[in-house]
Chains A and B, each alone.
Chain A
Amino acid sequence: MAEIKSLREAIAQLVRDGDTVAMEGFTHLIPFAAGHEVIRQQRKNLTLIRMTPDVIYDQLIGASCAKKLIFSWGGNPGVGSLHRLRDAVEHDWPLPLELQEHGHGDLSNAYVAGASKLPFAVLRAYVGSDLPKHNDKIKFIQCPFTGETLAAVPAIGPDVTIIHAQKADRKGNVLLWGILGVQKEAVLAAKKAIVTVEEIVDDLKAWPNACILPSWTISAVCCVPGGAFPSYAHGYYERDNRFYQAWDAIARDRKTFQAWIRRYVLETENFDEFRRVLRESVSQGVK
């Protein structure tokens, strides 16, 4: 059963140095508050998995939390590069970052295999591509029935998966809707799962086919309103595209980035305070 607790406690208890951690959310419901808390608690040597690393992993990589990244598309959506990711790959700053690189179809299948507790996923891909030359986790197998050549990739089984969702009830059952990405598969593939939610309610009032993660599939539920900012939570708030644009200049320069992480993440108590400090800075015209 999920325990309802503070995000600080959940991260302190469930995420350890050296863990393999997946924080999913396909441009929607990205668990930024949880990412910040991992930075605040200064976890190290993490293997980070995420289809689209996005600004959340740019922050974790720049803040020296990661040793390895498993991913399939590493850009700032609608803006351009993830400069902290690029600096780590191109110049080993702040630390060298090992890459294990896939395509979206591949990684999403690998999560399905993980949730199914199968050893690997099978898909029709990569014939002629250079990706298998640089990622020894991508292999080719023959179909035992037709002889067709297919790609095989190992299942993903994170130590911890972290997602953000719209609602939980008081027992810790979680409801999410809108663009679902691979969140359900990522939770079911993991040994432990943390879910931050916009609100905790008495009754989820869910329709029969709703995407529900039962309480007993989750380790901790944390109520963090706005916890997906600057991404969005369908039905609650929209994506803050200006933040994503502003991130480009912040992340481009090492010193500016470090000052930002210090001021807004390391020196704030929690996500609420981060939002408050950020709002004050914006209203004063400070970046």
Chain B
Amino acid sequence: MSFLPYAVAVWIVGVGLYGIVTSRDLVHLVICLSVMQSASYLVLLSIGYVKDASAPVFADVPGGTRAVDPVVQALTLTDVVVGTTVTALLLALSVQAHKRYGTLDPRRLRPGRATRRHG
């Protein structure tokens, strides 16, 4: 079953995209994007996996033990940080969209349809 991790990654991309396309709420949409991005963590970690190998941490195993690839794991950390920042910025934009349009439903967000204020 060597394709299984990649199949799961493809599936996560699919459900994340489906959520984004059918979303009725910007917060839900941002979460769907995070779900979709988590597929890239899975792909990176799956690529670096080596059968019957330990983690690339030699604190309690002797040096020279077969270990999985540390480079893709370091890249995954970068990936997580980027994901976090994207989520934070999009949520901040959602807050402002809600203030301006009075709704979080992406289908009701139309340029020029900002709620007018009482004078």
Are these two chains actual partners, yes or no?
no
A contact set with B: CB distance below 8 Å: none
B contact set with A: CB distance below 8 Å: none
